[in-house]
Chains A and B, each alone.
Chain A
């Protein structure tokens, strides 16, 4: 697959903001922290045999943009985001969109769904890798640890987990709410390959995704909530807030100035 260009990432970032602005919908910060890595996965790695589970369902915007970036959603589809009668609700839907297998949005489900997918592929002797994209906050869900134990015990080597470690969650910094900082030291206690990379360094993400192992893999993406729009970066408010017209224009200018 062709290498994802920086220009395409910038265009995707602007399209994401436009979509959220036009629909008046927030959750922008966590979408921007996830978008770069998600674009790499969809544009460079995901083949027909592979599966993608978005465990942090509140990054549905980034997922829709990633699908748009590979031609699976159209501009017209994006224009309906969050509107009445849309196929694109605020969290990924159960059906209707090629490339989305599971409705997610309640945290702590995705890793189990990805594990079941990977195990099923193994039982059916089918090729294909399952990618699970998670938030850092959802490691506070007990079911996520149930899933990790299962993933490691079953040695699901056909599973790659990406954790969007932006350090901000719904009502505070992860360190202030329920700290596991640093998360990766806990993950390293399991029988799993753990790699830590800059979640906005496309080459670093790419190289991490290229690695293979006889064990399941976790890539911890050190990311920035609101990445790419300086006035949004590391600001918890952008977990929720929609953009005003002035903010949208300023955000686009900021992206173009970088």
Chain B
């Protein structure tokens, strides 16, 4: 999604007060943005703590600020700076984490971001955006930048099947439907299930939903989805995020608060940093049983825990 990100930010940079800070990342991707923004594009160097605090202060001076790095480097290392300097002051700094989830695959666990939005959503005034498709990025950047809130944009890799017509961006989107159970997936992972579900007969085909904005209280669930959940015997949540603090917990609490009867819940999630061997994002998704085949087994109760 970096190409789309660069284009979206280039377009937005006509705003004279927009600034962009990178933690020395963006090679072969952000050069056009650097050319467009000139002195408003700042390579802050390999110093994420400083970069985040600088960003907060710039936002305090009414500049629109975007901060960019590999996902874990921009939320885990400078967490206190995000908490104290951005969130305590309700500053609208936009943090872009590239390679959310297992996006950096075989690069190893230091580069994985599988507890990012769970951690960040513990903070006040924080919104998370997880675009599903490449086509979402332009709208996500606009919505994040206009939100007036601190934001974390979890960039991944759009994985729409060939020939699939990507629906217009919305925080909640139904990507395919049928009479089967309800599946809700966070971000690009949702796109990986479309092909398998589409091949199923309507009578058993799941209602696949993608969620792209959190927390739920700022992104109300569609009534249609609530009705589907209420009438389903199975709700499956899939997220490239660890179990604790993840979307499934938030969704369960939210539904309970609404008084919606929760059907049996199956949660597919990232299995933390426990691997002895490494591999691509696809490989790591398989290890976590997040891949499409595991999803199909989970829906039929045949997945080994």
Contacts and interface: CB of A to CB of B under 8 A. Distances in A.
B81 interface: yes
Contacts of A115: 50, 53-54, 57
Interface in B59-81: 60-61, 63, 80-81
B88 A103 contact: yes
Interface stretch (B40-48, B142-150, B275-283): B40-48
Contacts of B55: 116
A102 B40 contact: no
Given A143-B50, A150-B45, A102 B60 contact: yes
A113 B84 CA distance: 11
B222 to A, nearest CB: 36
B85 A113 contact: yes
Contacts of A149: 45, 47, 50
Interface stretch (A118-126, A172-180, A203-211): A118-126
A124 B61 CA distance: 9
Nearest to B61: A120
A129 interface: no
B84 A116 contact: no
A83 interface: no
A55 to B, nearest CB: 10
A112 interface: yes
B95 to A, nearest CB: 15
B53 A95 contact: no
Interface in B189-228: none
A256 interface: no
B53 A123 contact: no
Interface residues of B, number: 26
Give the size category of A's interface with B. Answer: 20 to 34
B22 interface: no
B44 A150 contact: yes
Contacts of B17: 124
A101 B50 contact: no
Nearest to A130: B57
A142 interface: yes
A8 interface: no
A146 B44 CA distance: 9
Interface string A94-111: 110000011110101100
B157 interface: no
A14 B81 CA distance: 35
A117 B61 contact: yes
Binding site secondary structure of chain A: helix
B45 A114 contact: no
A43 B80 CA distance: 33
B57 A123 contact: no
A147 interface: yes
Nearest to A148: B50
Nearest to B53: A112
Nearest to A143: B49
B54 to A, nearest CB: 4
A147 B51 CA distance: 8
A120 B63 contact: yes
B234 interface: no
B34 interface: no
A153 interface: yes
Contact of B85 (A95, A102, A146, A153): A102
Interface string B223-242: 00000000000000000000
B39 interface: yes
B19 interface: yes
A60 to B, nearest CB: 15
27 contacts: A101-B60, A102-B56, A103-B88, A106-B80, A109-B84, A112-B54, A113-B57, A113-B85, A114-B57, A116-B54, A116-B58, A116-B61, A119-B54, A120-B57, A123-B39, A123-B40, A124-B17, A143-B81, A146-B49, A146-B50, A147-B50, A147-B54, A149-B45, A149-B50, A150-B45, A150-B50, A150-B54
Interface of B: 17, 19, 39-40, 42, 44-45, 47, 49-50, 52-58, 60-61, 63, 80-81, 84-85, 88-89
Return the 9 tightest CB-CB contacts between A and B, nearest first: A116-B57, A112-B53, A120-B61, A116-B54, A146-B47, A146-B50, A143-B49, A120-B58, A117-B57
Given A113-B85, A116-B54, 9 more contacts: A102-B57, A102-B85, A113-B56, A115-B53, A115-B57, A116-B60, A146-B49, A149-B45, A149-B50
